Structure 1
Amino acid sequence: MRRAVSALGELLLTAGVLTLLFVVWQLHWTDLTSGRAQAATVSSLTERWDAGAPAAPAAAPAPTASAAAPAVPDVDQSPPTGDAFAVVYVPRFGPDYAVPVVEGTGTEELKEGIGHYAGTALPGQVGNLALAGHRVTYGKPFHLIADLRPGDAVVVATATRWFTYRVASSQVVSPRQVSVIAPVPDRPGEDPTQAWLTMTACHPMHSARERYVVHALLESAQDRSAGPPASLAAAG
């Protein structure tokens, strides 16, 4: 009996150590490795864009949030799944925040950065540019999503343009409430006349029970050759 209890104790201790190691790997090691990979992707994209090399497609400028006429995009298809095609900057998240946007929202894509929901608008297009990101693990690009406030800038850079969106609202919804990424958020079936951006992440922290959702409207667009927009100034 004593041997059995001792063996059971050793098994439980081993299981505890393995569980602890898994948690450390999941919460910290994936952040480190994915964060480095995402930073390398951002550097690669921006170097290529600044050099004027061909890059993944980006939409043409859309009207401002108050305009009613639809934009005329220079492409009508998203890039292949897994390809990085844009970079998101959020001054509220810090001056060094820059995360690549990759096509798709599957497990592998979300390891590479912020995922773009297939079929939703491209940067600058009228409709809803819908994005997903982790709040914990794999670089946790949306870790501070709940800190965003109305009026905060969310800047999306592509090979040719900078797009500045301004946060309009936030909400917590069920994972089944997919209407938040409709062309007009929460109004499925309605034709869009504005350019929206929607960010989604699991909520609460360390749980997938709900989704934290932020909606923003396009404020302005400018050519990349003009340099970064004033909206990239640090949040107050």
Structure 2
Amino acid sequence: MTQIDAPSERVRVRRRRPSSTGTTKRRRPAFWIGCGLIAAGLAVLGWVAWQFWGTNWVSQQRQGDVREALADGWGEGSDVVRTDFGNASAIVRIPRFGKDYAVPVLEGDSPKVLASGIGHVPDTAKAGAEGNYVLAAHRVTHGEPFAKFPELKAGDKVIVETRTATYTYVLDNGGTDLIIPLTQTWVLDPLPTNPEAGGVSAPPTIDGKPNDHVLTLFTCSEIFHTDNRSVTFGHLVDVQTTGEVRADAR
């Protein structure tokens, strides 16, 4: 009798996968550091976007609000109009910057003021008055009213509108002719005179007459560097009373 062997029993061997616990533990710090770097990068990009686009949008809205407030306040007989961003006193128009350029002037040079328009530096002359009418503004971000400052040329007009009159100044130097450290304050003097021999100054006389109605504009000289200031001077050439000029200030 033939003996039939029983089929051999199959043995299934389960292979174990290499444990990943050690690898996970080793990768975990690197993973979170990477996430942190990505988050930091996104935060930086967000901050840059806010500075270059967000602040400009907000400031342009503020400028519109201030212009409207000035129009209403002037209509009621107020020379200086109180707004949520500071006391507004004038509107500046610079034809070199375009026919639609009309930026309000607020009293002071605080960050809030400069984020809402052009600042009239404290303790300097009023618009059209004898002395030095000094205006400062951002060149980049916060509405960047002086973004095109380097394009200014000697002979350009700067028109300053107030409730009672419109004053026209003519620039004596261009926007890149004078760069000074921010620590120099001689540009705020009634007649700015450069301490460096031969340096750009406000001219002491205009057509043989004393130059006693000066305009000074200044802003940052470089977009990403704030230690220096670009400065331009001007002198008053024309005054028109309200009855002779614009019908609206908007």
Q: TM-score range by the shorter chain?
A: 0.7 to 0.9
- Following the alignment from structure 1 to structure 2, what is the Cα–Cα distance between the partners of residues 223 and 177? 35
- Following the alignment from structure 2 to structure 1, what is the Cα–Cα distance between the partners of residues 182 and 193? 13
For 1:9, which of 21, 34, 40 is the aligned residue?
A: 34
* 3-state SS in 1 of match to 2:100: coil
- Structure 1 partner of 2:79: 56
Superposed displacement of residue 222, structure 1: 0.5
Q: Which runs of 5+ in 1 are unaligned?
A: 58-80, 229-236
- Structure 2 partner of 1:202: 220
- Structure 2 partner of 1:150: 154
- Following the alignment from structure 2 to structure 1, what is the Cα–Cα distance between the partners of residues 33 and 117? 42
For 2:230, which of 212, 216, 222 is the aligned residue?
A: 212
Q: Indicate the structure whose relative CO is greater, using CA pairs within 8 Å and at least 6 residues apart.
A: 1
AA aligned opposite 2:224: H
Superposed displacement of residue 17, structure 1: 0.1
* 3-state SS in 2 of match to 1:12: helix
- Structure 2 partner of 1:174: 181
| Equivalent residues of 1:87, 1:158 under 8 A apart | yes
TM-score by length of 2: 0.76
- Structure 2 partner of 1:65: none
- Percent identical among aligned pairs is 36
Q: Which runs of 5+ in 2 are unaligned?
A: 1-25, 196-203, 205-209
| Equivalent residues of 1:167, 1:216 under 8 A apart | yes
Poorly superposed stretches of 4+, deviation over 6 Å: none
| Equivalent residues of 1:55, 1:85 under 8 A apart | no
Superposed displacement of residue 44, structure 1: 2.7
AA aligned opposite 1:16: G
Superposed displacement of residue 47, structure 1: 4.3
RMSD: 1.8
- Following the alignment from structure 1 to structure 2, what is the Cα–Cα distance between the partners of residues 92 and 56? 27
- Structure 2 partner of 1:67: none
- Following the alignment from structure 1 to structure 2, what is the Cα–Cα distance between the partners of residues 56 and 149? 31
| Equivalent residues of 1:203, 1:210 under 8 A apart | yes
The yes-or-no answer on 1:31 pairing with 2:56 is: yes
| Equivalent residues of 1:39, 1:98 under 8 A apart | no
- Following the alignment from structure 1 to structure 2, what is the Cα–Cα distance between the partners of residues 207 and 221? 37
Number of residues of Structure 1 aligned to a counterpart in Structure 2: 201
Superposed displacement of residue 193, structure 1: 4.8
- Structure 1 partner of 2:66: 41
* 3-state SS in 2 of match to 1:13: helix
- Following the alignment from structure 2 to structure 1, what is the Cα–Cα distance between the partners of residues 32 and 193? 56
The yes-or-no answer on 1:221 pairing with 2:242 is: no
For 1:95, which of 99, 111, 122 is the aligned residue?
A: 99
* 3-state SS in 1 of match to 2:220: strand
- Following the alignment from structure 2 to structure 1, what is the Cα–Cα distance between the partners of residues 47 and 194? 41
